Chains A and B, each alone.
Chain A
Amino acid sequence: ETGVTQSPTHLIKTRGQQVTLRCSSQSGHNTVSWYQQALGQGPQFIFQYYREEENGRGNFPPRFSGLQFPNYSSELNVNALELDDSALYLCASSLRGRGNEKLFFGSGTQLSVL
């Protein structure tokens, strides 16, 4: 158990719809990173939030957006869903401070776009 919870666990949407995925960080963590993992692949970095501000972004279009709340929980929003958005979406929380960050992952949200 990492203490990171994601909801929902599974989701089915149709092309063009919008989706919001949620993540509760491990207690005491101030940073949240979101990753997209296609079947059989390594996770791809979407973006990271630190103290409620976006702090780094991967190669994803603007229709992928996020929020981090004062309690450090986070949301990932995807607009105008495309078939290729079907993937496992992983949230990882960490504590930004001295030294290297350790990422603690949730179990993910499996998104299917039909």
Chain B
Amino acid sequence: TQLLEQSPQFLSIQEGENLTVYCNSSSVFSSLQWYRQEPGEGPVLLVTVVTGGEVKKLKRLTFQFGDARKDSSLHITAAQPGDTGLYLCAGATSGTYKYIFGTGTRLKVLA
């Protein structure tokens, strides 16, 4: 059974601080996605990474896919209250089209 573990589970930081969220698995993924979910809403796609070692930037967010395509990280620089939400990673293995979601990291950024 594929399992995507995210850490930390909860994170509460002050505005302006930096943070990193990790997504780890023993499975190899053909692609990995990151989503953010706000209360009462469905997850919203932030980025897709497909190549081992790939780094993508989205404003203050930096996403990296591990060389072996088993893990990924999300780094936020100078966090803002608007970054508050549940961050989810989701991976798909080769030959399948189903995305398995991680356990989630709940981020709260205090003003």
Per DSSP, are chain A's interface residues mostly helix, strand or loop, or mixed? loop
* Contact in complex: B42, A56 (CB < 8 Å): no
Looking at the complex, which one of B4, B31, B40, B97 makes contact with A107 (CB distance below 8 Å)?
B40
Say which residue of A31, A33, A42, A107 sits within 8 Å of B104 (CB atoms). A42
Closest A residue to B89 by CB, please name it.
A42
Beta-carbon contact of B43 and A43 below 8 Å: yes
If A31-B97, A48-B98 touch, whether A92 touches B50 (CB-CB below 8 Å) is no
Residue count of chain A within 8 Å CB distance of chain B: 29
Q: Is the CB of A102 within 8 A of B48?
A: yes
Interface mask (A54-68 → B, CB under 8 Å = 1, otherwise 0): 011011000000000
Q: Which residues of A are found within 8 Å of B4, using beta-carbon distances?
A: 42
| A31–B97 CA distance with the chains assembled, in angstroms | 10
Cβ contact within 8 Å between A55 and B88: no
Q: Given the complex, which residues of A lie within 8 Å of B33, measured CB to CB? A: 100, 102-103
- CB atoms of A45 and B100 under 8 A apart: yes
Task: Report how many A-B pairs have Cβ atoms within 8 Å.
Answer: 67
- The distance in angstroms between the C-alpha atoms of A104 and B50, with both chains bound, is 18
Q: Which of A44, A50, A106 is within 8 Å of B101, CB to CB?
A: A44
Kindly state the separation between the CA atoms of A107 and B96 in the bound complex, as whole angstroms.
25
Instruction: Mark out the residues of chain A between 85 and 111 whose CB falls within 8 Å of any chain B CB in the assembled complex.
Output: 90, 92, 96, 100-108
Across-interface contacts of A56 in B (CB, < 8 A): 96-98
